[in-house]
Amino acid sequence: MADITAAKVKSFRERTGLPLMECKSALTEAGGDEEKAYDILRKRGEKLGDKRSDRETAFGRFGLYCGLDKAVGAIVELKCESAPVTQNEEFIRLADDLAKGLADTDQEITSADELLALPSPSKPEMTLGEQKAELFNRIREKFDVGRMSKLSGSCGGYCHNSGTVAGVLIQVAGGSDETAKDVAMHIAAMRPEALSTEELDKATIEKEREILRAAALQEGKPEGIVDKMVEGRLRQFFAERVLLEQPFVKDDKQSVGQFAKGNGMEIKKFVSYVLGQS
């Protein structure tokens, strides 16, 4: 039997991040061979992962890859079981690697399994799935890859509360990283439903128009001016729901559209996620 010294167990623990006794058990089973012991721990982790597959992942963070100097931007939701794990450096790296992996690939990725099959940007000898499995084996907590989006062209972004509450990715033309981030912060705070009035659901607009018209008639307003009143009140409706019409949170004397135009930036598209919400 190989001599499993305390120093060897300690060194192996530093590599795996697992409890000393579990490391010693794997080394003993492997006859002191670290690589075999590592494989033993990996297989044990896979079995444990299967047992924990039904656990709830109510916490997490967003990985974000963006920049006006980049040809593409991406955002990925990575969920976990507990709040402390969201601050773990390796968990943060995995979330960011997922976003960068999504941005870097030419493949059309439509599922978590397809994303996890891609190479890891920070650990090229591994796939993202292997990186995720290795991290699970260290932390022993279930991770789920949730929603993901990729936008072509220059993108800005913002993750609220270090990415643990909300994440925003916006596609822009012109402007700067800072102005793009300012708009992304606004989106995270105000959660618009659409970029422009043209993109707002037409049925929603017509329903609101009918409600406003009925209210104006009930107030006894002459039919001749009701339509003008309704259109005026619809502007407030748009200002609450449409990004370009919303008062800018950093300066409510101008709309987001006016802020963007004043900074030479056109907002083309945005993706806004709140953790755990569909």
Please check whether residue 265 lies inside any domain of the structure. yes
Instruction: Decide if 272 contacts 191 (C-beta within 8 A).
Output: yes
Please check whether residue 113 lies inside any domain of the structure. yes
Shared-domain flag, residues 270 and 138: yes
Please check whether residue 204 lies inside any domain of the structure. no
Per the structure, how many domains does the chain have? 2
Shared-domain flag, residues 23 and 140: no
Instruction: Decide if 157 contacts 168 (C-beta within 8 A).
Output: yes
**CA distance from start to end of the chain:** 54
CATH number at residue 266: 3.30.479.20
Shared-domain flag, residues 64 and 176: yes
pLDDT tens digits, one per residue of 43-86? 777 776 566 667 889 999 999 999 999 999 999 999 999 999 99
Please check whether residue 210 lies inside any domain of the structure. no
What pLDDT sits at residue 51? 62
CATH number at residue 17: 1.10.8.10
Q: Which regions of 161-258 does DSSP assign to beta strands (E)?
A: 166-174, 247-248, 251-255
What pLDDT sits at residue 49? 59
Radius of gyration (Cα) for the chain, nearest Å? Answer: 25
Please state, in angstroms and rounded to a whole number, the distance separating the CA atoms of residues 17 and 38: 11
Please check whether residue 209 lies inside any domain of the structure. no
Please state, in angstroms and rounded to a whole number, the distance separating the CA atoms of residues 10 and 8: 5
Please check whether residue 115 lies inside any domain of the structure. yes
Shared-domain flag, residues 100 and 191: yes
Please state, in angstroms and rounded to a whole number, the distance separating the CA atoms of residues 218 and 192: 30
Q: How far is CA 177 from each of CA 67, 115, 247, rounded to the nearest angstrom? A: 6, 27, 21
pLDDT tens digits, one per residue of 228-249? 888 888 988 999 999 999 999 9
Ranges in the chain, pLDDT < 70: 1-2, 48-53, 278
